[in-house]
Copies of this chain bind each other. A is one copy, B any other.
Amino acid sequence: MLLYDSDSRERETDLVAASQHVTHDSVRRMRRDGGGLICTTVPSRAWQRLGIPFLADLFSEARQRHPLLGELVPDDIPYDAKSAFAITINHRKTFTGVTDRDRALTISHFAGMVREALEYRGPDEEVRRTFGKLFRAPGHVQLLNAAEGLLSTRNGHTEMATALVSFAGLVPTATICEMMGDDGRALPKAQASRYAREAGLVFLEGSQVRAFWESRTGTGPVPGRKRGSAGVVQNGK
Q: Which residues of A contact B (CB under 8 A)?
A: 10, 12, 24-25, 27-28, 31-32, 35-37, 50-53, 55-56, 58-59, 61-62, 65-79, 83, 85, 87-90, 92, 95-96, 98-101, 104, 125, 128-129, 131-133, 135-140, 178, 180, 182, 184-186, 237
Contact = CB atoms under 8 A, between A and B. Distances in A.
Nearest to A75: B136
A160 B142 CA distance: 26
Give the number of copies in the complex. 2
A10 B137 contact: no
Given A55-B88, A104-B184, A180-B99, A132 B61 contact: no
Contact of A129 (B35, B37, B71): B71
Given A79-B96, A96-B237, 6 more contacts: A37-B140, A53-B68, A71-B129, A74-B137, A76-B136, A78-B95
B68 A50 contact: yes
A68 B135 CA distance: 11
